[in-house]
């Protein structure tokens, strides 16, 4: 529910998560300077986090079939935090019958 965080589906493999962190830091490095990110002119320091979240996405939609998540063999759901150290929420909404 916050715009510097993601929910995404991928592998539960620590090496891959380390790769994602390095890659995101390369694509959108943390830099509080307002010269690097115009967004940081607001006094915030999280311009990078808004970019990282766009790469990793905001949400996932998963089919529910016979009362279960209708997943392929390796799919796992993750919360991705890019500007943590404060309370943030994730919304789970389920519809159907």
**Nearer to another protein (CB atom), residue 43 or residue 72:** 72
Place of tokens 């995101």: 24
Question: CB of 85: closest distance to another protein in angstroms?
Answer: 24
Cα torsion at 66, 71, 76, 79 (round to 10°)? -70
Where in 14-73 is the site for another protein (CB under 8 A)?
Answer: 14-16, 18-20, 23, 27, 55-57, 60-63, 65, 70-73
**Under a CB-based contact definition with an 8 Å cutoff, are residues 48 and 31 in contact?**
yes
**Nearer to another protein (CB atom), residue 11 or residue 31:** 11
**Under a CB-based contact definition with an 8 Å cutoff, are residues 64 and 70 in contact?**
yes
Cα torsion at 47, 51, 52, 58 (round to 10°)? 120
**Nearer to another protein (CB atom), residue 3 or residue 77:** 77
Residue ranges that bind another protein, judged by CB under 8 A = 8-11, 13-16, 18-20, 23, 27, 55-57, 60-63, 65, 70-75, 95-97
């Amino acid at each position: 529910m916050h715009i510097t965080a993601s929910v995404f589906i991928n592998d539960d493999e620590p090496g891959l998560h380390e790769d994602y962190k390095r890659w995101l830091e390369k694509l959108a490095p943390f830099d509080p300077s307002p010269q690097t990110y115009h967004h940081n002119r607001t006094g915030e320091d999280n311009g990078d986090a808004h970019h990282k979240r766009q790469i990793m996405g905001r949400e996932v939609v998963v089919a529910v079939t016979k009362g279960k998540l209708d997943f392929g063999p390796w799919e796992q759901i993750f919360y991705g935090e890019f500007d943590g150290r404060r309370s943030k929420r994730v919304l789970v909404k389920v519809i159907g019958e």
